Chain A
Amino acid sequence: MSAEAAITVEALTKIYGQTRAVDGVSFTVPLGATVGLLGGNGAGKTTTIGMIMGLIQPDGGKISVLGAAMPAARSRVLHRMNFESPYVDMPHRLTVRQNLTVFGRLYGVDGVADRIRQLAEDFALTDLLDRPAGRLSAGQKTRVALAKALINDPDVLLLDEPTASLDPDTADWVRSRLETYRHTFGVGILLASHNMPEVERLCDNVIMLKQGRIVDTGSPADLVSRYGRSDMEEVFLDVARGRGEAAHLAGWENG
């Protein structure tokens, strides 16, 4: 296992009843890289992220985060990880500042008040700090969730649809923040997204999932080239609609 790997997953498997939600998935997220996890609904993205986070017990395979075997050694690395997901929320009655204070303390952040002030500036939350989280718009909530995800300056960041509810301007701004954060600190980011322009912009490598299996991997430019398409949106549709193999071969022959 590489010392540089943020996340290493080998033959990861999860079975629910007769369904293989994740089926022998293997990939690596190096430190300093963003890897996209793509696939249609039910492809196994959230289950894969859930297993990496330790919320779901795998039925087979191995997960290593920053060299620590998960979930057995999760307490060694949880303070160096964080995540953002639409499947979780923050207490609505607590203000943004109170929520971030609680999470800052849970993650052992030194100088929580200063860190919150800094994040509030980075994510334009200063005017919202004393507003209850339940009174924020969807876009504001996403920004707060991202601030929470960065409160401990994580080395490993798991992002599930981080810009799903943001307007294009704010989404673009958030992507810039994520790019800056990754380049400044060399963190490993695993990004699940349905937004293909976002994937093309942020990801160094992409893993295409379908029915729990990896059907293709490569850089966005490489995939677009190999499938003979003009962008990742078309590659995604090829894979999702089962045209992946034919298009892939056609692209291969043409190339």
Chain B
Amino acid sequence: MTATLQRDRHRDRAARANKSGFSFARVGAMVLRHWYLLRSSWPRLLEIVYWPAVNLLTWGLVQTYVQQHSGFFANAAGLIIGAMLLSDVLIRGQQGFSFAFLEELWSRNIGNLMMSPLRPSELLASLMVVSLIRLAIGMIPVSLVAIALFDFNIWGLGGVLALFFLNLILTGWSVGIVIAGVLLRQGMAAESFAWTVIFAVVPITCVYYPVATLPSFLQPVAWSLPPTYVFEGMRAALIGHQFRSDLMLDAFLINLVLMGIATVGFYWLLNSARRQGSLLSTGE
């Protein structure tokens, strides 16, 4: 009788969660799963901080040298470090999302998840939260090091920084969502996309130089990518000390379109994986 009552309680609770459609409790369960993983592995934690730290030291020293020899850079302190930190939000945001998804493939856990009540939308939402946690672990210490070593305080951008961050992370997630779909469809053969795809985007988004620097045929491509607006906006803030709300709005609108396309693409690839039976064999 006790066992039956316990079972009824499980059912009631699960039925309530299903009635509500999207379940934050299931998203929380997945975030907990990745939190357990991060806690259990110091090499993973170290890796999250390692690359942003190496980038900061490299570009910070380049900036110090250039500032000493260029009046332009002397008047625009932090231009290179700021660009580096913001580009890392884009890169690490996408990679944090993709790596968290890859963890499920590496551990052959994706079948368990796809068979559980977890919905694809909840899986994607949990990956977004995990990417934010990984970004916080990697970027907050590095931003503090930038203050200590290079006298550059990115937090000084205030509310503008939040808009920059929002637009960059949305683009990173869109790329991550498409890569997750490709991984479901193609399996681990597509694993390297998680590392490489974003680096093809970065040069066109004009992280360290104005859009005008690009060849004219590439400039429309650059303006179709939200990070371009963010980096132009950052230069406007650091050089001209002005906030370009028009750039942030354009970036946000393009991000909404990209997120929509990425989500549709993910579901299409997921359905294709179901048709091909590749969810049960996501190995090489």
Asked if B68 is at the interface (CB within 8 A of a chain A CB), the reply is: no
- CB-contacts of A68-96 with B (<8 A): 71, 75-76, 78-83, 85, 87-95
Q: Which of B85-117 contact A (CB under 8 A)?
A: 103, 107-117
Q: For the complex, is A132 an interface residue (Cβ under 8 Å from B)?
A: yes
**A88 with B29, Cβ < 8 A, contacts A56-B274, A56-B279, A103-B116 known:** no
Number of B positions contacting A (CB below 8 A)? 48
Q: Is the CB of A79 within 8 A of B103?
A: no
- Taking CB atoms and an 8 Å cut-off, the chain A residues in 132-169 that contact chain B are 132, 148, 152-153
Give the shortest distance, in Å, between A25 (CB) and chain B (any CB). Answer: 15
Instruction: List, sorted by A's number, 12 A–B pairs whose CB atoms are closer than 8 Å.
Output: A50-B280, A55-B279, A56-B274, A91-B33, A91-B37, A105-B28, A105-B32, A106-B116, A108-B18, A110-B6, A110-B12, A185-B3
Q: Check B279–A102 contact: CB distance below 8 A.
A: no
| CB–CB A91/B13 < 8 A | no
CA distance A48 to B238 in the complex (A): 61
For A26, what are the chain B residues with a Cβ–Cβ distance below 8 Å? Answer: none
Chain A 102-135 interface 0/1 with B at a Cβ cutoff of 8 Å (1 = within): 1101111111000100000000000000001000
B interface residues (Cβ-Cβ under 8 A, vs A): 3-4, 6-7, 9-18, 23, 25-26, 28-30, 32-33, 36-37, 40-41, 103, 107-119, 271, 274-277, 279-281
A79 touches B32 (CB 8 A): no
Decide if A56 touches B116 in the complex (CB within 8 Å): no
Residues of chain B with a CB closer than 8 A to A110's CB? 6, 9-10, 12-13
Task: Assess the B107–A79 pair: CB atoms within 8 A.
Answer: no
User: Provided the pairs A105-B25, A108-B14, A153-B6 are in contact, do residues A148 and B33 lie with their beta carbons within 8 angstroms?
Assistant: no
How far in angstroms is the closest Cβ of chain B from A187? 10
* C-alpha spacing A55/B279, complex, angstroms: 6
Contacts of A88 on B, CB cut-off 8 Å? 108-112, 115, 280
A244 CB, nearest partner CB in chain B, Å: 27
CA distance A75 to B36 in the complex (A): 27
The residue from A14, A94, A107 contacting B40, defined by CB atoms under 8 A apart: A94
CA distance A110 to B25 in the complex (A): 12
| Segment 47-63 of A: residues with Cβ below 8 Å from B | 47, 50, 53-57
Q: How far is the CA of A18 from the CA of B117 in the complex (A)?
A: 33
CA distance A193 to B36 in the complex (A): 34
- A100 and B11 CA atoms in complex are apart in Å by 17
Number of interface residues of A (CB under 8 A): 47
Task: Tell me, yes or no, whether A46 is within 8 Å of chain B by CB.
Answer: yes
* Cα separation A149 to B134 with both chains bound (whole Å): 31
Q: How far is the CB of A103 from chain B (nearest CB, A)?
A: 7
Contact for A75 among B10, B113, B117, CB less than 8 A: B117
Complex alpha-carbon distance, A79 and B8, angstroms: 12
Judge whether B109 and A90 touch: CB under 8 Å. Answer: yes
State whether B115 touches A78 (Cβ < 8 A). yes
Given A53-B115, A55-B274, A108-B25, answer yes or no on A91-B103 (Cβ-Cβ < 8 Å): yes
CB-CB < 8 A to A153: which residues of B? Answer: 3, 6-7, 10-11
- B14–A107 CB distance below 8 A: yes
Shortest Cβ distance from B114 into A: residue: A55
When distances are taken between beta carbons in the complex, the residues of chain B under 8 Å from A83 are 115
Do B115 and A102 have beta carbons less than 8 Å apart?
no
Which A residues touch B30, using CB under 8 A?
102, 106
Whether the pair B33, A54 counts as a contact (CB closer than 8 A) is no
Answer whether A93 and B28 are a contact pair too, CB < 8 Å, given A54-B115, A108-B13.
no
Question: Closest residue to B277 on the A side, CB-wise?
Answer: A56
Q: Which residues does chain A contribute within 8 Å of B33, judged by CB atoms?
A: 91, 94, 98, 102
| A55-B279, A78-B117 known; A91-B107 Cβ under 8 A | yes
Q: How far is the CB of B164 from chain A (nearest CB, A)?
A: 34
